[in-house]
A = this chain, B = another copy of it.
Amino acid sequence: MTTKNNTLFSRRDLLTLIGKTAGGGAMYQAMTSLGFAAESNYNGPPKLDGAKKGASVLVLGAGLAGMAAALELRNAGYSVKVLEFSNRAGGRCWTLRGGDTFTELGGAVQQCGFAKGEYFNPGPWRIPYHHHAVLGYCKRLGVALEPFVQVNYNALVHSSKAYGGKPQRYRHVQADYQGYVAELLGKATTQGNLDAALTKEDKEKLLEGLRRWGALDTQFRYLEGTVSSDRRGYEVDAGGGLMPLAKPSKPLDMSELLQSNLWRYIASGQDYEFQSAIFQPVGGMDMIAKAFQKEVGSLIRYGAKVTKIEQNDRGVTVTYTDASKGGAVTQAKADWCLCTIPLSVLSQIDIQVGSAMQEAINAVPYGASVKVGLQFKRRFWEEDEHIYGGISYTDLPISRISYPSTRYGAKGKSVVLGAYVFDGPNSYEFTAMAPEERVRRAVEFGTQLHPQYASEFDNGISVGWHRVPGTHGCYGIWTDETRQKHYKNLCQVDGRIALAGEHASYIPAWQEGALLSSLDAIQRLHARAVA
């Protein structure tokens, strides 16, 4: 793999060219415009020049952090070996398909009964447009991407305590909340309440904007009619020929809407993390893992359970049991070690590092989220309700239902994310259940949003992250306090050992954090190795 990311180089070339051919004004224009792209800490694959001949690195863990390190270090000339606890590459970059077996801590075994082509991502499931490292590797390794529909205006928002438990349409809540906000602000503005905060000119522009943005009438009112219905949708849509005329829909009552709390769900698609464009790999998140595996799979030893990590001033020795040798205690040696084992597990392993790093390793608890994948006999959300991809939200423990952002309109069985339980008590309760009980509960709760569940449910599978062997949790939970006290100590190279993974990043729970942490760590390890 010799592909190079030329982004920076090409940009510099381009700027020079523009400067030469179009003069300074265009040059400035170009720089400020292109400068938009400079927000990320990712600047393409690391430059690891001058590796010493024969220098070796032992990578612990074959998740994305471990495999990216293996790829870059191998390309830089290092002798690389990867030890992986499980019999699968990818770590939390993981997809379950029909025929897969999953045995969780506690021994419960699930056989995935999904139809051919259907899948469920128990771990990460989305790639924001600004996760440049993940996108960069996808491009470099040929992983095809498709849009993840984060916001679906026709999906549902549901509160068991509002509207008699009847789900509402996202578009109704979104349009009406924004409409009432605009109407109220229009009222305060026209009444002169904000004259201290706004100049006359700004007031005029604000009112002009509120009318369009809030779908208000000429009197700055949010009312039933075509203006609001062009936003929230119609009671009867416009048609063709002599079909019945369009009929505007009636906005929700303002007070009832405010008291419903359903407005909680309408800002998430505006969050930087979830803004459009946001992607998923075609065919499942583990297409990324498989692409890395294609590059470095030959370097990975599976079924290697690390029990001890030792170092001295000449190298690192890792002791592990080798499943392929009946669990025989084995040792691997290298000049350097990059350890990507989750802290939830690493804190239980004997590792020879200073007390600062050891304390950091012990300081980070892991999230307990639970996901449930549900297969239905048909895409009733598309066929009956015209919901194509996207997410419905609820205050029930399942928190949301995410419809497949792929193969729209396909006939036959289809899998949704039927629960993503991540608040404390509910996630612990779900983790404690037997897998089939989690599935049963997800179906039971989901029926409150989609009564079709009752007749269309086919089969399901559940993953409680505290019960996933080799991970023992979903992601490292940092607080401001633990960040301040331990983060740097966790990330510093300790002798010949460096740590990486989402836990060693400021982007916890995201693959981007794992990759950036890995790229940063190997650059510092490399600097030490060539010093």
Partner-B contacts on A (CB < 8 A): 7, 10-11, 14, 17-18, 21-22, 26, 29-30, 32-34, 36-37, 39-42, 129-130, 132, 135, 138-139, 145-147, 149, 151-154, 165-167, 169, 171, 174-175, 177-178, 181-182, 184-185, 187-189, 191, 193-194, 197-199, 201-202, 205-206, 209-210, 212-213, 229-246, 254-255, 258-259, 261, 263-264, 266-267, 270-273, 275-277, 279, 383-390, 405, 408-409, 448-452, 454-455, 488, 491-492, 500, 504-507, 512-521, 524
Contacts and interface: CB of A to CB of B under 8 A. Distances in A.
B41 A237 contact: yes
B241 A524 contact: yes
Contacts of A198: 184
Number of copies of this kind of chain in the complex = 2
B37 A507 contact: no
A491 B245 CA distance: 13
B240 A454 contact: no
A265 to B, nearest CB: 10
B194 A241 contact: no
A166 B277 contact: no
B41 A239 contact: yes
Nearest to A186: B185
A91 to B, nearest CB: 15
B130 A386 contact: yes
B520 A243 contact: yes
Contacts of A408: 145-146, 277, 279
A231 B514 contact: no
A346 to B, nearest CB: 16
A43 B384 CA distance: 11
B506 A171 contact: no
A178 B270 contact: yes
6 contacts: A10-B384, A29-B166, A34-B384, A171-B272, A240-B512, A277-B388
Given A147-B146, A206-B258, A451-B29, A130 B504 contact: no
A231 B430 CA distance: 31
A132 B236 CA distance: 13
